Amino acid sequence: MALPISDQRDQVIETKELRVALDGNLQKLKSLPASRERALSITKLQEAIMWLGMDLKARNEPNPYPNSYDPSNAIVDPTADNLKL
């Protein structure tokens, strides 16, 4: 059963907020002295942000990277939600 539009919109907003919060923690982690364990933590946070992006895609959100499927141009779109990754 499909969710009502307002519930879908709320879930999209929550997912985007999570992505921004995770990116904030990622930036804090990157500012600390490097270690193998921190490097793995960075990778896992990046993966979490990516999987939440895939969740947005599964919810049929508009493509934030309109040029990504066109190999004839050299345009690299900025990350969605202004994440620094």
At 22-42, the pLDDT tens digits run 999 999 999 999 999 999 999
Residue 43 tokens, joined:
């990778």
Q: What is the pTM of this model?
A: 0.75
Domain that holds residue 29: 16-59
- pLDDT of amino acid 3: 64
Classify residue 39: in a domain, yes or no.
yes
Residue 81 in domain? no
- In a domain, residue 55? The reply is yes
In a domain, 42, yes or no: yes
CB 63 within 8 A of CB 54: no
Total count of domains within the chain: 1
Please enumerate in sequence order all residues whose Cβ is within 8 A of that of 64, keeping only pairs 6 or more positions apart, or say none: 77, 80
Q: Answer whether residue 9 is part of any domain.
A: no
Q: Is the residue at 54 inside a domain? A: yes
Nearest alpha-carbon partner for 26 in 17, 38, 14, 36: 38
